[in-house]
Every structure is written in structure tokens, then in C-alpha cells.
Structure 1
Amino acid sequence: MSNLTKTSAGPNGSTASPVSPVATRRTRGPRLSGVTWLIWRQHRAAYWTLLAATALSLAWIAYQRTGLMDYLAAHGWPDSPDKWLEGMGPYSAEFQKVGLGLGFIPILFGVFLGAPLLAGDLENGTAKLVTSQSVSPVRWLAAKLGISALVVVVCTVALSVQFGWWFGLVKNADPGRGWSEGFVFDNTGPVPVALSLFTFVGGLAIGMLLRRTLLAMVVTFTFAVVVQVVWAYCRLDLGNIVTVATNKGINAPPSGLPDGALEIDRSYATGSGESLGWSTCAHEASETARDACVQKADIVGWSVDYLPISQMSGMQWFGASILFALTAAVAVFIFMWGRKRLV
């Protein structure tokens, strides 16, 4: 008998079936299968591109932070602010430039990942082919949404942590460094994750409804830009404004503003408790006329409304929770629509 067909005998003389090397390799670790494998293979180019771009961005942020650390250490930080603050311009400009670039990530996720994800399959008939097999529309949608959302979360969480690590150094060196601006606020904490997920799921829903890839991408771009504009407009409303005032005259500045506080508004206070605009008496040409105007208006002091930097984290989580809730609502709509009307 040929050695290729022989089987080994067991302890009791029985024979054991040969073990295939392929089967051995397949059982060594978890492997994708079924609809999960199909979706990963279908969109693997986009997924790997996003992961690779994220890795490059993480490396660049780490490089920039290292350069800033070397500069601060060489100029006596934190003991000599007059030395290291003067030369921080190039490092702050690079920080702002990277932050502005990262601000486009939610738009990119919505336009290039969310919009074509279902629209392409609905347009070329792949969705009908897949759902005509043993895969239900709900299961197919869940796999599509779940795998892609996981990639979005992994990329944005990594970028948020890395950029926040860099911002922590800038914040400690110069507390007034624009924490409320979009290039900082929208790229740290949970905000980039929430914005990216919302635009991605919104693009997915738009593609499902329009069923045309190019049209869905154009509409999703408009949707993502509107989301960014509305978010920027409402960002400061997420915090609780703090007011500090003085009644010792207009030349006595109010005390108690912490480092990094964002000034919202200034106003004059009268003896009766009324607030007057900051332009009151500003039109007077001479100091004597201005003093007379101040006395006539009964101005006894002034007040400042501000947001402390200590509220940054709470504002971010509050805004992100709203975006997460909207994302969940859109996802529920996708499953309810797709269960009966997908194909």
C-alpha cells in the first residue's frame, strides 16, 4: 500500500484520519467568515487606507510634540515664560494647522465611506444579490454598519488621544491657547468620535435613500458641511457662562478670571443694577467728557462674562452625547427602512 494512503493505528488498533495542514492553519486563530468576510473584502481598500492614514497622522503628531518638548526644555519651561513664550509661534502655528486638517476627517468619513457604502451596492445590484441568498437585509445592514463604524471609532479614538496628548503640553505651556476653537475643541475628547460617527451614519442613510453613489456623495458633503457649521455656531452654548464684576469704578478691572478663560462679553454696571453696552460713552472725544458721561449714566463698575477652561471636558461630553443620540436615531431609521424597503 502506498505511504500516501496509509493511516496510523491507534492504541486499540483502530485507524485515525489524517489531519489536513490547511485545517490546522485555519484553527490557529479567529478568522472572518460569512457576510463579515464578504464586507471586509469588499471594502478592504478603503478600510486599510483609513487605517494607514491614521497611523501616519499619529506618527506626525508624535514627531511635532517631541520637537515642542525639546524646545520648551531648552528654554527653561516652565520657570521662564518670558523666554519660551516668545519663540512658540512656529510650534503653535503647526499645532493649529494640524488641528484644522483633522477637522476635515468627519466630512471625509461621511462622503467617502458612508455615502458609497450602501449606495454603490444598491446602484449596481449587489445588495439584491446578497440578500437573495441566506443573508437577511437586517444582518447585511448590521455587518455593513458595524464593521465600518468600528473602523471609524478606532481611527478617531486614536487621533483624539494623540492630539489631546499634544494639546496637553501646549495647554500647560500657554493656558490661553484657543481651547474653545474648533481646531482644539473638535479634535480632543469624545467630540471627533461623535462628529465622525454622525456624519458617517448620515452619509449611509443618504446613500440608502438616494441609491446613486455620486449623488449621495454630493448630498452627504453638503450635509457634513452643514453639521460642521451648526456645531461651530452652538459650541459655546454647551457651557455655563460665569460672570465676574466690580463696583469700584470703570478703571478697576474685575478680579478672579482664571488662566485660559474665554471672555464672552463685557458690559458696564450702573448703580441701579442695569447693564449697559461696552460702547457706552466710547464716542466721547476727551477724558473729561467721558467722565461726565460715566457720571450721567451712573456707571459704577463693569462685568465680564467668560467660560473657564475647566468646563472644556464637560462641554465636550455634553455635545458628544447629543451627537451620539442623533447617530443612534439615524441608525434605527436605517434598520427600520432597510428591513422592508432596502431592495
Structure 2
Amino acid sequence: MSATTLDRAPAPVVTPAPRGLVRTILRLHRAALWIWLAWVAGTAGLLLWLLGPGADSAQHALETYGYGGLLVTGGPGDAYNSLFYYPDTLISLASFAVALFAGGPLIARELESGTARLAWTQSVSPARWLAVKLAVPAAFIVVGTGLLTLLYHQLWSAHANLLIAGIGPRSLYFSLGPATVAAPLLGLALGTLVGLAVRRTLPALAFSGFAYFLVHAFRGNHWPFQGRYQQPELHSRSRAITSTGARISDPGCYDDKACLARHDVVRFTRAYLPSPDYWPRQLLETGVLLALTAVAVALAFGLLRRRAATG
């Protein structure tokens, strides 16, 4: 073979390693990554405070003043009760934000700007591009929400007796088990599917948020296997204690002094009873969410294949 022939031979095709694609995604979306890490750290810090100093302060009020000590407006018990449910709100908002991020910056913006098609011409197949796009945020979602779920369940197991209300927000049920990890994964899959379908950043943001809002609303009120309340572990047994130390049925008059005097109640005790169907329900819901996630991912890959073929 002559030197001229060698000079004209086409250069070998080099397929970028998956690690290079991962680094590109992390660099491109580093702002979102830092926001996610800050959210996980902040929420974990709140949960650790509730497990430690916050619980100690509320427990001191309970031991010093009885159950009425938890009912003092602005007191440690009242503050603890309010803050206890904040992580649940933060976790729900994070799942919604994941859907927005997937639909807009992660997928639609790159399709709209042509960055994705440029990557496909650089020996990165559309399927690999989408697989890594899903795998990288999914790993951070699983680790972050998994950590917070473990902390939240530990908090509930250790200090639920310090809560003022017997039944808290219905969505708290979701934040105590594996369904909490599966929910944002579904948001990621839905956002990705919407982003591929719309291919424009702002409309994809709107449609992704709306799609996940519908799923979340249906999940919170209409799952047929969750019963009337979505919190099986929140069933409680409350007893009142008289001045003689006798335990009687709870008359339900914590801040009514006349009622307390009439029943000779000096303090209360309360125990939360775990439900035997809590974990079956959690696992069933987790399976449903993961199945919906798998369907959305399959549809996303099918849509991408068709988009790539038609140009």
C-alpha cells in the first residue's frame, strides 16, 4: 500500500467512553447539581436537628408540663410539631423540581439548541446519549432521597410521640418509605418524555410540571390500595392519667381547663401503633411508581429513535 493511499485512508471512528459523557453532563448541569446537593444537605440538617436538639427541647417541655406543654403556642412543642412536617414538603417540591429539570434543561434545551444532534454526530448514538442523560440524575436522586427517607423514618420511629396532632399531612406517608425514592424517578422519566415530545424549553417546563402535578394529585387521593388515610402508621392510642395515677380514656380536652378538672386529668400519654399493612402498601405503591417509570422510559426511547430517524 502506497504512502498516498495511507494518507487518504479515513481516520478510525473513536467512540467516547461513557465516563466522558458523564463528565460532560455534570459540567453542563453543574448549577442544578449544586442546587440538588444543597437541598439534600439542608433537608438532612433539619432532620438531624429534629432528631437531636429539637426533640430534646420538646421532650423537656413534655416532661416538665405534661402534654399541655406541647400545646403552648410558640413553645418548643409547637415549634417542633410545625417543623416536623417541613421535610415532607421539601421532598414533595423536590420531586416536582426534578420533573421540571428533566423536561426543560436536561432534554428540551439541548434538542432546541441542536446540542443533542451535534453529540449524535460525534459517535454518540442517540440511545447512549439518552441512557446517560437518565442514569446520571437518577443516581443522585436515589442516593439523595434514599438518605432523607432513612432519616425521616428514623425520626418518626423515635419521636412521633412528640407530635401534637394525631393525624398529620396525608402526604407524610409517602416520605417514610421507598415510594419516596420512586416518585422523583417517575418525575425524571415523565419530564424526559415530555422534553423529547415538545423539544422546546419553556413549553416542556410547563407540560412537565403539569404532568407530574396530575400524577402527584392522583397519587395523594385516589390510589385504591391506600384506604381512607395514606398513613397506616399514624394510628394512635391516647390515654389520660388522673391525679391518682389511673389511666382513663382520653376525654379529648387538652386545653380546656374545666374539662380537665371535671375528669381529674393531670397529663396524657400517647402511643403510635404501627399498622401491619404499612409495608405491603408501601411496596405495592413503589412497584406501581416504578412500573409507570419504566413505561415512560420505554416511550421516551421509542420517541427518540423515531425523532433520530426522521431528523
TM-score w.r.t. length of structure 1: 0.65
One-letter amino acid matched to 2:301 = F
Find the counterpart in structure 2 of residue 91 from structure 1. 80
Structure showing the higher helix proportion among its residues? 2
Gapped regions of structure 2 (runs ≥ 5): 1-16, 237-272
Q: Who is 2:3 aligned against?
A: none
Equivalent runs, 1:107-118 vs 2, <5 Å: 107-118=96-107
Task: Give the percent of matched residue pairs that are identical in Structure 1 and Structure 2.
Answer: 27
Instruction: Give the structure-2-normalised TM-score.
Output: 0.71
CA apart distance, 1:169: 2.5
The number of residue pairs the alignment matches comes to 251
Distance 1:83 1:123 in 2: 59
Structure 1 counterpart of 2:289: 323
| 1:198-233 deviations in Å (ceiling 9; x for gaps) | 111101110011000110001111111111110111
- The answer to whether structure 1 residue 40 and structure 2 residue 26 are counterparts is yes
Aligned to 1:186, the other structure's residue is in SS state helix
Name the counterpart of 1:238. 225
CA offset digits 1:216-261 (Å, max 9, x no partner): 00111111111111011124x32468xxxxxxxxxxxxxxxx9943
The 3 A distance-change label for structure 1 pair 200 and 71 is: same
- 2:235 aligns with 261
Residues 59 and 162 of structure 2 are in contact (CA less than 8 Å); yes or no, is this contact kept in structure 1? no
- Work out the CA distance in 2 between the residues paired with 1:139 and 1:64: 43
1:179–1:309 CA contact under 8 A, matched in 2: no
Deviations 1:162-196 (A, max 9, x none): 222222233344597436711x1122211221111
- The one-letter code of the counterpart of 2:184 is S
User: Which of 54, 59, 63 is the aligned partner of 2:40?
Assistant: 54
Residue type of the partner of 1:335? F
Distance in 2 between residues matched to 1:51 and 1:234, nearest whole Å: 32
Question: Which 4+ stretches in 1 moved above 6 angstroms?
Answer: none
Paired residues of 2:80 and 2:163 also in contact (CA < 8 A): no
Cα distance between partner residues in 1 of 2:220 and 2:286? 13
2:53 is matched with: 67
CA RMSD of aligned residues (A): 3.0
1:18-167 alignment runs, 5 A limit: 33-75=19-61, 82=67, 85-86=70-71, 88-167=77-156
Using a 3 Å threshold, how does the CA distance of structure 1 residues 70 and 200 change in structure 2: closer, same or farther?
A: same
Residues in 1 aligned to 2:34 and 2:233: alpha-carbon distance in whole angstroms = 42
Report the alpha carbon displacement of residue 308 of structure 1 after superposing the two structures with TM.
6.7
CA contact (8 A) 1:175 1:259 kept: no
Q: Secondary structure at the match of 1:309?
A: coil
Q: 1:198 aligns with which of 178, 182, 186?
A: 186
